[in-house]
Each structure stands twice: as structure tokens, then as C-alpha cells.
């Protein structure tokens, strides 16, 4: 196995036992970026010199038996996380030359843990989308089939992980932007409980749901990263004071009851998704889990609620980009950003606030209460992550509600602030990865990671790799 193909666990072991150096590990990732990124287009910015310098520093610390938990491990960062001295664009021409003077808390914590930052990954501009086609610069392609989309908005991060351009990546989710691209690219994507990981220094989309999280090759890797990222941050008042669990303990409780929400198997859903997810359910059932069919609110209601609340918060958050304090003029906004801002202003305007925004917040409360009711019956929920495998390039241009429809199965849990994880669970007949999601009560990340780890001990879907054809 090539060094860039290693998991975090395997890379840490290799570094500790001096089988290879952090410089060699980093160089392997940089070489893979040079080899495949002209085809995949996952990165906006590659920090080669900075990465090699950080790797050299890591090697010196490794000789001194440092206890930093991710020392020498290469990572790719979604381009809506501020990185001091490194261009941060949110894939928008408004910020195409913006260089922050500080690090986002997530980035600061990763640096303290010893990571090597390879660069910044492409995304839908301002995270508005589920395809990475709304990036103002270029579209990231799915490594499994470059004629297809990687999902979004963290499409660049997911594509970089499955293409082995990095050992792991960081994404952010507002309503599916970690789990959905993870499903389409066949990797693990963990969306933590809202407030479990700091949003400070993340370019905001919808402040009441934005949740940073890891995109990895295994659930075990995701546990290691979350251990570093989780915790209260004095710079983010929405972070929780709850004690951080020990996510490294991956032993399952003896009795586990998994709920299967019947409403999440939509009519018109891809037959391949239904078949593969049901096979995954059977695997967990054979492993001893109790399976219970449950009922939740139809996910179509979350689409309406999310659309109104997210647009409203977008109109507020993007108001600061006036071309005076920083960034280019507002004429640089793309069509998707303009559409969302206009709808948000409309729903918040006098005469329409009660009719739309206030009503959406009331339904959001009902969604939260509905989950609370179901979690009195089961420990966690299992459902498909996306209604379809990866769609063809150009699909998002054909539907003004593309993102909402592709994220329909993850929006409700995001609006409720719940944690969720995507796990690769099979492939379509055409060789496209399919993902299932586990959703738990607030702050149940440890349980989700335990179940994810157990499932990956039973299957090898997460070990499958795409063959990226590089033309001369």
C-alpha cells in the first residue's frame, strides 16, 4: 500500500515505529495531488512548501516522543475555514484574494495536534449547494466517475479523501454538506451535534445549523479527529459545555436497538440505494442489533423549513460582504448566492416574517420533538444518506431546488442539531458508491462511531478505491 493510501491509524503507527517519516508521508500525498488533481480538481490552493516545512518540524518532534495525537498526519481543509496566511475564498470570487490573519478554531486545534495542512479544498460557493458545481472557480469531479458530481458543499474534501490525495479532510455541514458528498464519494463523513465543534473562523452560511466535522477513510479515524476538535470554545458562544466523550472506546453496548424510519425510503428513490441499505440493515441485525421500524415526520417538511430558515440566515450573514471592509464588490456574487439572499430578505421582510420565517421555526420545533419521541424507543436511526448515487455533471443546473432534494434525508436531523455519520455500504450496478447514515440523539457521537466501527469490521466497502485514469 502506498503511503498516501493509509488511514490515520495506520499512518500514526508507521510514524511511531519509524517505518517512514512525516516528510515521506506528506510528499506521497503531494505527489498524488500533482498526479490526479488536474483530473479530479479537489483543491483550490495547495500549500506544498508550507506542508513540507510542517512535516520536517513534525519529524523533529517525533524523535522527541511527542504526545500530539495527530502529529505528522496530512489533512486537507475545506476553503470556508479561515487559515492564517493562506488564501481562504469560500469558493467565491468575492473572496478570491482574501488572506485571513487568524485561524479558525478547528484549524488551530488541528495545528496544536500536529497535523500537516496540504491545502484548501473546493466547495460550492459559500457552501450554497450539494454538487460543487456552484463554485465560482471550477467543478470538482467524482473520482469514481469523472462524468459525475462528488456532491457538496464539501465535495472537494470528500473527493480528496477517496482519491488518496490526503489522509483525511475537514468539511462543514449545514444540511447534508458532509454526509451527502461522503455518500457519493464512498467515504466516512461525520456531522457532529450542533455546538460540539466550534464554528469560530468558519465563513458562515446558516449560523443555527453550521457544523464542522471530519471526512475520513474509516469510522476509527473519524473518532480520532473528533477527539481533537470537540469541546467548548470561548470564541463561540454556541459551543456546548458538555464533557467530551472518549471517542476511542469503540466497544458497543450489549443491547442496541436501531430504528428504521419508513418515511426515509422515498417513493422514486433509486432501487440500488434501497437494496444496498437494506442489506446493510441485515448485516447489523445478524451482528446482534435489534431492528425496529419507526415513523418520523415526512422529510418533505424539513425541505420547506430548511429552505426558509437557511435563506433567511444567508441574507444576514452575507450582508457583511459589502466590498468595503474586505473582499470584492457585491457584483462578484454568483447567481446562487443572489437567489438565496433575495429569498431570505423576502421571508424576513415586514408582512411576511410571521407567514414564513416564524412558521418555519415552529415546524422546526415540531421536528425536534418528533426526534425526541422516537429516541425514547430506539438508540439510533439508520436510513439512506442520499436518494441516489452520484448524478451526472450539470444535474444541479436543471433543478433550482437541487440541493434541498438531494439532501432531503439529512435536513431534518441537521435542523434538529443531531449528530449523523455516513458509512459506505455498497455499490450500484454501475460501480457508484452508496452510503447509509446513522443518526443519534444529541451528543451521541460515541455511539454512532462505535456502530460505524462495528459495521466496518463486518464489511469492506470502505476499503474499495476508484481507479482514476490519468491520460498522458
Q: List active site positions.
A: 78, 153, 177
Q: Where are the domains of the chain?
A: 3-463
Q: What's the confidence (pLDDT) of residue 407?
A: 94
Q: Are 384 and 336 in contact (CB under 8 A)?
A: no
Tell me the pLDDT tens digit for each residue of 123-145.
999 999 999 999 999 999 999 99
Q: Give the mean model confidence (pLDDT) for residues 5-33.
A: 98
Residue 387: HSE in the Cβ half-sphere, 13 Å Cα cutoff = 19
DSSP symbols for 389-409? SPPBTTGGGG-TTHHHHHTTT
* Calpha distance 392→395 (Å, rounded): 6
Nearest to 182 by CA among 433, 443, 447, 472: 433
**Element containing residue 266 per DSSP (H, E):** none
- Alpha helix stretches (DSSP H) within 297-395: 300-317, 335-348, 359-374
Query: Which residue matches cell numbers 498516501?
Result: 4
Cα Rg, the chain, nearest whole Å: 21
* Calpha distance 451→5 (Å, rounded): 24
**Element containing residue 167 per DSSP (H, E):** none
Kindly report the average pLDDT of the chain as a whole number: 96
Q: List residues bridging with 292 in a β-sheet.
A: 259
Q: How confident is the model at residue 29 (pLDDT cuts 50, 70, 90)?
A: very high
**Element containing residue 463 per DSSP (H, E):** none
Tell me the pLDDT tens digit for each residue of 254-304.
889 999 999 999 999 999 999 999 999 999 999 999 999 999 999 999 999
pLDDT higher than threshold 60 for residue 472: no
**pTM of the complete model:** 0.97
Architecture of the structural domain at 3-463: Alpha-Beta Complex (3.90)
Q: How confident is the model at residue 78 (pLDDT cuts 50, 70, 90)?
A: very high
pLDDT higher than threshold 60 for residue 253: yes
Q: Are 184 and 390 in contact (CB under 8 A)?
A: yes
Q: Reduce the DSSP state of residue 259 to 3 states and report it.
A: strand
Nearest to 314 by CA among 177, 135, 127: 127
Amino acid at each position: 500500500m502506498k503511503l498516501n493510501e493509509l488511514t490515520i491509524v495506520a499512518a500514526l503507527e508507521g510514524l511511531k515505529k519509524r517505518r517512514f517519516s512525516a516528510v515521506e508521508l506528506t510528499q506521497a500525498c503531494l505527489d498524488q495531488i500533482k498526479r490526479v488533481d488536474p483530473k479530479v480538481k479537489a483543491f483550490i490552493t495547495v500549500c506544498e512548501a508550507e506542508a513540507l516545512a510542517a512535516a520536517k518540524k513534525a519529524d523533529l518532534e517525533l524523535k522527541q516522543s511527542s504526545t500530539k495525537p495527530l502529529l505528522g498526519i496530512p489533512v486537507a481543509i475545506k476553503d470556508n475555514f479561515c487559515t492564517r496566511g493562506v488564501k481562504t475564498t469560500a469558493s467565491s470570487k468575492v473572496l478570491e484574494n482574501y488572506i485571513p490573519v487568524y485561524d479558525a478554531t478547528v484549524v488551530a486545534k488541528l495545528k496544536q495536534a500536529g497535523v500537516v495542512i496540504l491545502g484548501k479544498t473546493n466547495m460550492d460557493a459559500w457552501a450554497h449547494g450539494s454538487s460543487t458545481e456552484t463554485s465560482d472557480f471550477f467543478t470538482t469531479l467524482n473520482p469514481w466517475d469523472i462524468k459525475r458530481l462528488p456532491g457538496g458543499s464539501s465535495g472537494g474534501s470528500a473527493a480528496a479523501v477517496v482519491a488518496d490525495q490526503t489522509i483525511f479532510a475537514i468539511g462543514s455541514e449545514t444540511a447534508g454538506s458532509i454526509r451527502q458528498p461522503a455518500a457519493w464519494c464512498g467515504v466516512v463523513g461525520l456531522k457532529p451535534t450542533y455546538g460540539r465543534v466550534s464554528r469560530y473562523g468558519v465563513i458562515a452560511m446558516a449560523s443555527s445549523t453550521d457544523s464542522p466535522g471530519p471526512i475520513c477513510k474509516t469510522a476509527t479515524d473519524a473518532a480520532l479527529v473528533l477527539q481533537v476538535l470537540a469541546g467548548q470554545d470561548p470564541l463561540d458562544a454556541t459551543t456546548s459545555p458538555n464533557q467530551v466523550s472518549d471517542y476511542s472506546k469503540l466497544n458497543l453496548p450489549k443491547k442496541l436497538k436501531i430504528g428504521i424510519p419508513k418515511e426515509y425510503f422515498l417513493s422514486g428513490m433509486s432501487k440500488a440505494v434501497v437494496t444496498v441499505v437494506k442489506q446493510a440493515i441485515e448485516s447489523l441485525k445478524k451482528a446482534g442489533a435489534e431492528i425496529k421500524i419507526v415513523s418520523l415526520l415526512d422529510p418533505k417538511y424539513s425541505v420547506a423549513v430548511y429552505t426558509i430558515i437557511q435563506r433567511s440566515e444567508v441574507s444576514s450573514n452575507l450582508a457583511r460582504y459589502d466590498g468595503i471592509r474586505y473582499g470584492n464588490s457585491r457584483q462578484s456574487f454568483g447567481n446562487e448566492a443572489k437567489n438565496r439572499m433575495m429569498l431570505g430578505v423576502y421571508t424576513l421582510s415586514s408582512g411576511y416574517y410571521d407567514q414564513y420565517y416564524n412558521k418555519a421555526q415552529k415546524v422546526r420545533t415540531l421536528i425536534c420533538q418528533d426526534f425526541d419521541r422516537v429516541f425514547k424507543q430506539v438508540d439510533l436511526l439508520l436510513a439512506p444518506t442520499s436518494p441516489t448515487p452520484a448524478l451526472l455533471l450539470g444535474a444541479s443546473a436543471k433543478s433550482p431546488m437541487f440541493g434541498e432534494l438531494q439532501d432531503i434525508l439529512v435536513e431534518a436531523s441537521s435542523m434538529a442539531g443531531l449528530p449523523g455519520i455516513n458509512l459506505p455500504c455498497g455499490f450500484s450496478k454501475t460501480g457508484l458508491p452508496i452510503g447509509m447514515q446513522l443518526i443519534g440523539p444529541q451528543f451521541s457521537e460515541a455511539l454512532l462511531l462505535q456502530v460505524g466501527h462495528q459495521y466496518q469490521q463486518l464489511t469492506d466497502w470502505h476499503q474499495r478505491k476508484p481507479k482514476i485514469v490519468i491520460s498522458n
